[in-house]
A and B are shown apart, each in its own frame.
Chain A
Amino acid sequence: MIEIENITKRYGESTVVDDVSLTIAPRTVTVVVGTSGSGKTTLLRMVNRLVEPTSGAIRLDGEDNRSLPGYELRRRIGYAIQGHGLFPHRTVAENIATVPTLLGWERARIDAKVEELLSLFQLDPAAFGPRFPHELSGGQQQRVGVARALAAEPKVLLMDEPFGALDPIIRAKAQDDLLAIQKHFQTTIILVTHDMEEAFHLADRIAVMDKGKVVQYATPTEMLLKPATPFVESLIGAGERPYRLLAIAPVSSAVEPGHAEGVAISSAASQREALAELLWSGRDALPVADPDGAVIGKVSLEGLAKRAAGPT
């Protein structure tokens, strides 16, 4: 649990973060979105005290984050940034071992952790461990950056536009990987981005920031149905609302009894994918299969249309 309480940061006359309070539940993904200059990165950096707040407090599991020296606090909190920030003079394995080494772990434990993380991120430890960062592709560097942030098994992971430098295809894959990793380690993630698509894809809750204030803090569905301010509405994009609504719900929650012809869609896919498939193939309904492949019903154009409708 992360409790951010009346946090304010001023630089001289300008207030960058203005009296922000958020409570973040453990083992969830919270995405902070906002335009550049909204104070979202500053807010994130106050959690691990790369920036010291002017006033207010942040508590991690009830403990004030100022009860430890800053560097010790940061060893306990994962931190991944845009452009990965890998140490160019150290191998991939040494990069991942950064925080465990600082914490004084035994060699064998560090090696085992590095190997586990590389495998988890689909990088062969024997092949990638001894390489230097510049010998990796952008997507691989980004994965090593996240692996490094997770190496000391932090309960909290802070991410500042971690996928900003990736091309769209690799980015989508990196986002899916992140969700899988988050489930695996049960990490609490706070992620900052300006990409609404990314926010809706990843978030359990979204905090929208504007001019240093949090203007809405809600689940993606709530935010779509009841945007708190015109700013939130414009950020979501009026034309995108029905699709976003379908995108954040799985097909499994839209299954209707009945039979349909054709190739089945997985119940784990999003409703938006189902809609796209229906429109593209010109059909009214698709069969739905559970992850084992058994057909459990159908999803129809009519049913999805109802689900995509906003409040009246």
Chain B
Amino acid sequence: MTLARRKLLQLIGLLGVPSVFLLVFFLCPLVIMLIYSGLTPGLYGGVDWVFSHLNYGRILGWADTRYEKFDPVYLAIFLRSLRLAALTVLASLLISYPAAFWISRMRPARRDFAIFLVTLPFFVSLIVRLFAWVLILRPTGFLNQGLMGLGLTSAPVEFLYTDFAVILGMTYVFIPFMFLPLYGSLEKLDMTQIEASADLGASRLQTFRKVVLPATLPGIIGGSIITFIPALGNFIVPSVLGGAKVLMIGNLIEQQFLSARNWPFGSALAMLVMTAVLVLLVVQLRLARREGMS
């Protein structure tokens, strides 16, 4: 047996089974979902093998006017998901940036420990972390008890099941996603540039705007994309903290499969999210590659 032939056999041995596994159980389900998104819903769940444009039409406004008027409610939910995800990105950015700056200026030993502390909650069960916020936000929860104890409000404020609760919950859960890329670019920041800028008479705000911000922009963009992606399609946080009042696209997809039993429509919604996510992933990879070259 020649060397090339032996190498080829080794390669097939390594790649073969895992590749088949992923083709069958990862790619195949997604392809089925894509196909179903263009079919007619079956009467009792499942699908009929007849093409229908109504699934995407119902979302995007190209509905069959004979049976139904275009109802922008689905588009509104998708837009709300985009908005909540964007606000989550903004909140995590504002919360993480100063902390990442603080930690990046620490002595190395303390710095490593601080980063360990930031990433540790990531390993704590998601459902436990969200449950903690239910305890804090609910009408008899700690926040309301505190507010009433201070006399700031006489009746409990509805924090739970609001946009605020969902954004807070997602921010809390995704902080490491934002923090680590930010920290990565802040760590590389050259302190002498900041000093030079100050020596040359720039105010602190000017130094931040002209020196610090441009240098850390890759981290800001990277962290934003990495946070936005899981926030957009999130299902658990709006279910626990948003209840029935704050529907996101993830909840809508779940309903179409488990309660409405409209697989094609649910599939179309899922494909919409997938497209948004893949576009963002490509943008992220492009930016990362450009960053790596420069």
A and B: interacting chains: no
A interface, CB within 8 angstroms of B: none
